[in-house]
Structure 1
């Protein structure tokens, strides 16, 4: 587990289990939405109902060293990869870390669940890599 100490929470789905990699023990509510605007509306409604739980957005991801390779891995996974009612990200790990930081900064959600849709993507390895990138972003802003 990475030593990222930012505010965003990060979960993965592994073998059907919802696992948090950021080590927070506060309650969490998992949501799915077709886009970030819809996610923000859902999140706002949940926070006004019960401000105690963190809202965690599902994000279907296909990552690789470059966009073209990530897009190719999504094609291999098939057309059903990443349901239509789910935010999707295709690109690099750095870009994914940027998206997650933006989701938190814009108040869309308190964290994300990474759901890899490409072949050969290990959820925990991907999550740890994202946390390292978030930590680097955080330390760069602090300096």
Structure 2
């Protein structure tokens, strides 16, 4: 699972994982739309990796959780804990919804790089436990 973060401006995104295949970003408001979008993109463009945008607000930043409720940017939205976000990303991978995610902060107070590293660490631990 590839993981990207948005750095400031919406078009400026960078990868925290080591992927090399071409990517296409996808914005979808729910997982079903994302899965259909991935299938459509792959039928049009061939073997590209589809990266789903996810706007996030994580505890203990409850102010951004409240802000997330009023955001309607067309992306999948997540509000909760880091463990819950890691679980969502794992489910996105297992269900074949997307090949990766781009984390977008609901609030400028969120350090997406740190959050992304925390998520990757949890996914790695979970992977070792299931192996």
For normalisation by structure 1, the TM-score amounts to 0.83
For structure 1, list consecutive stretches of 5 or more residues without a partner in the other structure.
1-7
Q: Could you tell me how far 1:121 is from its partner in structure 2?
A: 0.8
Q: Relative to 1, partners in 2 of residues 1:44 and 1:76: Cα closer, same or farther, differing over 3 Å? A: closer
For structure 2, list consecutive stretches of 5 or more residues without a partner in the other structure.
none
Equivalent position SS for 2:96: coil
Q: Does 1:79 align with 2:42?
A: no
Conserved 8 A contact 1:31-1:55: yes
Matched with 2:110 is: 121
Q: Which runs of 4+ in 1 moved over 3 A?
A: none
Structure 2 counterparts to residues 33-44 of structure 1, below 5 A? 33-44=28-39
Please give the alpha-carbon distance, in whole angstroms, between the structure 2 residues aligned to 1:20 and 1:90. Answer: 22
For normalisation by structure 2, the TM-score amounts to 0.90
The number of residue pairs the alignment matches comes to 129
Of residues 49, 52, 61, the one that matches 1:54 is: 49
CA RMSD of aligned residues (A): 1.7
Matched with 2:89 is: 100
Please give the alpha-carbon distance, in whole angstroms, between the structure 1 residues aligned to 2:129 and 2:55. Answer: 27
Conserved 8 A contact 2:68-2:77: no
Of residues 2, 9, 19, the one that matches 2:2 is: 9
